[in-house]
Chain A
């Protein structure tokens, strides 16, 4: 049994000298990282995009065969068995640990579920695989855990398919499944990044409840220092694959010793600055009247949007804020023409519209290098026929967005979140849009990258006079970035 040298607390997981790299890459992601996780504690790993936070979780999980532990050990010590080194176990043995012993809340909620099967069926399947399914208790337990996560209609969520839920709702549902499984070690990768404040607090409360009531040990990866302070017992600050600082959560937040930690803390706060009053533009570039949208699921009708009218003026930044599932993304998809509204009209006034999606990684083809997407949009939308001219324009926009040319030959999984987001912005800008729609464009990024992306969007708006609709659940961010904000709830403007 492992014990912490300095106290009698039992060490649940001991990571020693972990060197991690990815298949096909010579670059080392983690450089000899060592840390202990005490049984029953919540360890928060904080760092910016590309620091290796998610790689720590992938290494502990051991199911991603592209994530290779080249050196080091991962000793786990559960009550039921003697200490085991996870790095020595076979893939099949590590797979058996997943579910009851090690649970995982993935960063990208789009990848967590099979899109065409109902949530209920997928939950039952997972519980059955872990020998936790009890037919007579399932419905009551499932609805209870969904209610605690903030869902007002758990029955509807259970009968829904993942593609019928918003990104934030999927993230909550993924977290709820882990709460049902109650693993001994829970690995949560940005569990609240796509959630609004209220939903994020509910998930944070559930993470704390799991720890207090069931003694669950948790490793929570987040870029949100506020969350880390709220739920974490200890914090680990990671930068470029090295631990910069670690210690008690309250100590680090109240008295950070390292400069990098101080920098992270300053980037985390978004100040609402009094904005310069812009001369009001009278020219309208987009008008939406009485937009309504209803989804049909079997015999059930769900009214997603009801009587939405809004106007966007040239050069304006319009913010749309609201809770998860209020219809923000659906409204954006209707505006850009990806969905047809059930009712209402949209007049784009001759402007081209482009969108930046919620998950930058998922908005590029997983197997193609990103330059192909940029090339395609230049050919199809901007009408540039000559290959050389397309390449010149791509290199020019990459230079404007501080992206190195070599990055465009990589696949999205080989880029960091911030780099991928910049490529998504580059792709949108190459189409020379008059209107840019940002659907939670910064939700899945760390605070420092968020700040740089927001500054970039500000620059684009100022220099190119591109009107923007910025959707986010983060009210503070929307208020600080946008000229005007509308709030949505349950498919309506409030």
Chain B
């Protein structure tokens, strides 16, 4: 069968669009994996000791010995960026995975069973969403004291509500479908229906949202650290590094630029990945 040239051209246009998106996704996945590897092993491959104070080398410009220069305490900025990557990135990943899991479980229960449980959980989400998330996180983190775990707890307290509402609405629409009713008549338990029938249909939406939230979570954790209620000095973390270095920004701008650039690159990679996954799903 000879293929009409025009139809082939049209088919090629559609195919190339999908190919571009998939290529973009693969590149972003590779970049994300590189970032995750750096975050994992960064603390062990630093060129210098990230916590060693050196009074002679304070606020030194980038050189062969200190690739990103030194900060106000003479510490190697490059080493601190590498050491802090793990806390920032894995902290954000843990936050996203935990909030997505909690939100999905609660949203599924609300959507599937409804009734009093749904009412109570939805009123709790309304309560959580009444406060701007960052303001609530600052209050909770401030009360709980500093540290990465308290920052994750503070951000997670209202972070699950996004997934809960999303999953609830998807479950409510799916549970009325004929194949769910047929599954009930086939003797499937509620758990089986939720796990085998409903969750596979909604996991795509949850993953897309979660990937997009990684970048936002990195900024939030860094933001709390910047305010002094997340990870605190001398612990290497990008947000606290920016907070520490901003006082001497005119004298040692590299101490601010390096962690800022690290946040920018990481957030861009994960945000682009989330957008690409959404475009492919659409």
Contacts and interface: CB of A to CB of B under 8 A. Distances in A.
Contact of A88 (B6, B181, B185, B201): B6
Given A90-B13, A427-B186, A367 B7 contact: no
Contacts of B201: 367
Contact of A65 (B14, B169, B176, B177): B14
Contact of A362 (B14, B179, B185, B200): B179
Given A71-B1, A90-B13, A365-B197, A376 B186 contact: yes
Contacts of A116: 169, 172-173
Question: Which of B7, B173, B188, B201 gathers most chain A CB within 10 Å?
Answer: B7
B74 to A, nearest CB: 56
A114 B201 CA distance: 15
Interface stretch (A6-14, A253-261, A350-358): A350-358
A366 B173 contact: no
A115 B201 CA distance: 15
B169 A364 contact: no
B181 A333 contact: yes
B52 interface: no
Contacts of B186: 373, 376-377, 380-381, 427, 431
A87 B6 contact: yes
Interface in B150-179: 169, 172-173, 176-179
A444 to B, nearest CB: 12
B177 A338 contact: no
Contacts, number: 93
Nearest to A114: B173
B176 A163 contact: yes
A363 interface: yes
A85 interface: yes
B9 interface: yes
B3 interface: yes
Contacts of B178: 110, 357-359, 362-363
Contacts of A163: 173, 176
A73 interface: yes
B200 A71 contact: no
B182 interface: yes
A109 to B, nearest CB: 12
Contacts of A377: 186-187
Contact of A87 (B2, B7, B17): B7
A71 B173 contact: no
Contacts of A357: 178, 181-182
Contacts of A17: 4
B7 A72 contact: yes
A245 to B, nearest CB: 25
A365 B6 contact: no
Interface residues of A, number: 43
B29 interface: no
Nearest to A71: B4
Nearest to B170: A116
B4 A88 contact: no
Nearest to B11: A68
B222 to A, nearest CB: 37
A115 B172 contact: yes
A355 B185 contact: yes
A402 B182 CA distance: 22
A336 interface: yes
Contacts of A69: 7, 10
A46 to B, nearest CB: 27
A362 B7 contact: no
Given A70-B7, A373-B186, A367 B200 contact: yes
A359 B4 CA distance: 37
A223 to B, nearest CB: 21
Contact of A70 (B9, B11, B17, B185): B11
A19 interface: yes
Contacts of A409: none
A380 B17 CA distance: 45
B176 A85 contact: no
Given A338-B185, A365-B197, A376-B186, A73 B6 contact: yes
A333 B181 CA distance: 9
Given A65-B14, A90-B13, A363 B182 contact: yes
A91 interface: yes
B184 interface: yes
Given A72-B4, A73-B6, A373 B182 contact: yes
Interface in A330-373: 333, 336, 338, 354-355, 357-359, 362-367, 373
B160 to A, nearest CB: 21
Contacts of A379: 187
20 contacts: A19-B1, A69-B10, A70-B1, A70-B3, A71-B2, A72-B7, A73-B4, A87-B6, A90-B13, A110-B178, A114-B173, A115-B176, A116-B173, A338-B181, A355-B185, A357-B181, A363-B181, A364-B179, A377-B187, A427-B182
Interface of B: 1-4, 6-7, 9-11, 13-14, 17, 169, 172-173, 176-179, 181-188, 197, 200-201
Given A69-B10, A363-B178, A431-B186, 6 more contacts: A19-B1, A69-B7, A70-B4, A88-B10, A89-B10, A424-B182
The 6 closest A-B pairs by CB, nearest first: A380-B187, A362-B178, A377-B186, A115-B173, A363-B178, A381-B187
